[in-house]
Amino acid sequence: MEEKEKQTQNTCARATCSKGFKTMCGGQALIEGIMMRGPKKQAVVVRRPDGELEIQEKELKLIKERHPVLGWPLIRGVVNFCDSMYNGVTALMYSAEFFPEEGEPSKFEAWLENKLGSEKATGFFTTLAVILGIGMSVGLFFLLPTLLGTAVTWVTDSMVARNLAESILKIVIFIGYLALCSRMKEMRRVFSYHGAEHKTIFCYESGLPLTVENVRKQPRHHPRCGTSFLFVVIFVSILVSTVVFAIWPIHNVLLRMLAHLVMLPAIVGVSYEFNRWVGRHDGPITRVLVAPGLWLQNFTTFEPDDSMIEVGIKALELVLPEEKGADAW
């Protein structure tokens, strides 16, 4: 039965490629919900505890329309990453409101809301969450491997050995983090909604009607997934840092950390452009390039149930443009 399902998914994936349509619509899994972003709209759909759907819609105000320079290649990758982080955290906090934790808010939360008001307090916590999220990611996947890599200097002063050790540590920490998250009970349903988001996008790109039956048959691994993007960032950082440190050897651990921080915007920009290119092309080379990212999605994307698929369909329908093809990637 499992083998038959895999064959069906592979057939759907080939059908998607043969269609050649790639949508710029994409989303993010939330707590019992999904956020979808289209070319002009964003929608958040959450399944409330009573089973009904809570819907939040808004028109997107793209910063590149006010400042065209921020839409230039390489620059737009950093801008879009920060924008996605902020909107993603905001949507996540919105979905969490329907499943409040037991207990009263902390004194700090109550004081802040009293001083700033509910809306400004929410904005403060969202900004803080984004800063902490980016800081944790940078610290865990870039600075920690640099710190641990100093252990190599106890054995050899070879810059090649140190670069290799840091590269291996980056990959091991990244995969270990994803594997750990995938085993957390609280995350399994979120990752199942992640699967519903991917399957819904695949169904739409295949040109099929957005029904639960059609979506259910689609693959759950999508090449333009955030997990794949993060892996590309890690991989590009390995290539860039290896070249930079080969030309300008830096042994001091603090200076190496600073160098990684300086290189990070360029790494994110290059990774974004790489993902755009891969997302727009199908062929033997691109299939090889996206394979590691697709494999990593085994940790972050699970099979959804029909109620999750319904949420994905509703969220996507809300952001599709009125003009057919206006969302082409």
Q: What is the pLDDT of residue 99?
A: 85
For the chain, helix (H) and strand (E) counts, in that order, are 13, 4
The answer to whether residue 38 is domain-embedded is yes
The answer to whether residue 227 is domain-embedded is yes
The answer to whether residue 135 is domain-embedded is no
Q: What percent of the chain has pLDDT over 90?
A: 58
Domain of residue 205 covers 12-103+141-318
Question: Nearest CA to 226 among 58, 29, 57, 43?
Answer: 29
The answer to whether residue 6 is domain-embedded is no
Q: What is the pLDDT of residue 74?
A: 85
**Which stretches does DSSP call E strand in the chain?**
26-30, 33-37, 41-47, 53-59
Using 50, 70 and 90 to split pLDDT, how confident is the model at 9? very low
pLDDT in tens, 83-106: 888 888 999 989 988 987 655 555
Q: How far apart are the first and last CA of the chain?
A: 35
- Higher pLDDT, residue 126 or 320: 320
The answer to whether residue 54 is domain-embedded is yes
Number of domains in the chain: 1
The answer to whether residue 329 is domain-embedded is no
The answer to whether residue 178 is domain-embedded is yes
Report the predicted TM-score, pTM, of the whole model to 2 decimal places. Answer: 0.84
pLDDT in tens, 137-191: 899 999 999 999 989 888 888 889 999 999 999 999 999 999 999 999 889 999 9
The answer to whether residue 202 is domain-embedded is yes
Count, residues in the chain: 329
